Amino acid sequence: MEILNTKVAIIGSGPAGLLLGQLLYKAGIDHIIIEQRSSEYVAARIRAGILEQVSVDLLKQAGVDEHLNQHGLPHHGIEILTAGEKHRIDLSSLTHGKQVTVYGQTEVTKDLMAAREQAKLTTFYESNDVQIHDFYDKPHVTFTQNGQQYQVQCDFIAGCDGYHGVCRASVPQDKIKTFEKVYPFGWLGILADVPPVSDELIYVQSERGFALCSMRSTTRSRYYLQVPLTDKVEDWSDERFWDELKNRLDEQSRENLVTGPSIEKSIAPLRSFVTEPMRFGQLFLAGDAAHIVPPTGAKGLNLAASDIAYLSSALIEFYKENSSKGIDEYSEKCLKRVWKAERFSWWMTHLLHRFETESDFDLKIKQAELAYILGSEAGQTTLAENYVGLPYEIKNMDDLKQAS
Ligand code: APR
Ligand code: PHB
């Protein structure tokens, strides 16, 4: 067994683990990442695509914004299509100039991996049997890679290993509480090298169910349809997908829609999930390991980023100022923001999707709520300020700025 020593052992190299690694590196704090998949698998995963301004700022602090600056598309508004009519939410004018950036999570991951490689930081890909031990006292991690056994002794373990990871599962049952809501439908998503139907995202509420027109660039589109959980990807030929999308769009968008062969097609279930607390002794949970949101509000990646902002700041405070204040406050601070994003994602999901169980009355109330939101500046502002991202304060942001 080979013994390794480090300050922070990060489990998982999704956006949360990679971003934490980069921020710790910038601050001169020793860490390693242990990932069960191959680097190729991690780099190829296709997921969300909208960054809040605070997430963009954090990537800048981490020094990985070059590609983002070149290829990210700033968006100042979104469209909501309901009853066959499009309504624009002017995000920027409703939020004192804030915006979001369209930039794929796949690209964020690749940029962070490239920065990591350039800095020659240690990542154990294709690790098997990853286990975390003794995190209330002397934390350590064991795993095997290529038949070699490793033990990592560390001060802290960062559980950035996603919803199905080992970290949350290792917490004793009586120390953790989880909150969950599973939705009775999924999103069928496709990626296609065709220009987007519109310059801005269109969120579609229709009698046939929800749809979303999104993009990755001016030449690559990402579209989603609400589908029953019983549907399989094989049930959906490209032709059937495009036909159904057209059925849910307004006439003008239908005419503008450019179709083409899909380069990816998958179905994702929708879930709301929160773990409390997010710290257990020297173990911290961050990102999808601690919470899941349905994708309707585009909050998943952004919440992972805000957890990491708090966690990196707390660890920097611990090592540079010998203070455990940030560490002690980590869970509470994260959860405040997490629950607000959970509420927003749940609300957007509720408002825009068809639920089989809803009565005619429920539907009328929902339509009235949507009409109110769209017809009132106060209503639109509520949506806009949540969509662009609620603010958070980070103690060591200046340290990070100096380091970058
Ligand atoms: N040991 C090591 N690594 C593991 C283990 C394990 N036992 N289990 C899971 N992992 C790895 C996964 O292979 C994955 O690479 O942890 C990583 C977790 O990454 P993500 O699932 O992308 O989670 P996170 O980094 O928190 O990113 C959150 O992903 O799902 C989206 O909407 C979500 O955008 C958000 C983002
Ligand atoms: C995406 O482009 O994948 C996307 C955009 C907005 C969402 C969800 C997903 O709300």
- The tens digit of pLDDT for each residue in 148-206 reads 999 999 999 999 999 999 999 999 999 999 999 999 999 999 999 999 999 999 999 99
Q: Do residues 165 and 292 make contact, with C-beta atoms less than 8 angstroms apart? A: no
Please say if the pLDDT value at position 397 is more than 80.
no
Output the pLDDT for position 393. Answer: 76
Please say if the pLDDT value at position 86 is more than 90.
yes
Output the pLDDT for position 55. Answer: 95
CA of 44 to the centre of ligand 1 (A): 13
Please say if the pLDDT value at position 403 is more than 50.
no
Residue type, 158: A
Q: Which residue among the candidates 295, 310, 333, 353 is catalytic per the annotation?
A: 295
Q: Which residue among the candidates 203, 223, 310, 330 is catalytic per the annotation?
A: 203
φ, ψ dihedrals at 366, nearest 5° = -65, -40
Confidence label for 346 from pLDDT (cuts 50, 70 and 90): very high
Per-residue pLDDT averaged across 27-55, rounded?
94
**What whole-number percentage of the chain has pLDDT above 90?**
95
Q: Which residue among the candidates 26, 291, 299, 366 is catalytic per the annotation?
A: 299
How many other CB atoms sit within 10 Å of the CB of residue 45?
Answer: 12
Return the biggest CA–CA distance within the chain: 65
Please say if the pLDDT value at position 404 is more than 70.
no
Confidence label for 47 from pLDDT (cuts 50, 70 and 90): confident
Atom number of ligand 2 nearest to Cα 102: 2
Please say if the pLDDT value at position 399 is more than 60.
no
CA 144 to centroid of chain Cα atoms: 29
Q: Which ligand is nearest to the CA of 222?
A: 2
Atom number of ligand 2 nearest to Cα 295: 8
Catalytic residue check, 139? no
Q: Which residue has the tokens 């009698």?
A: 207
Per-residue pLDDT averaged across 112-139, rounded?
98
Output the pLDDT for position 402. Answer: 46
Ligand 1 within 6 A of 304 CB? yes
- Which CATH architecture group holds 2-180+270-391? 3-Layer(bba) Sandwich (3.50)
Catalytic residue check, 299? yes
Catalytic residue check, 71? no
pTM: 0.96
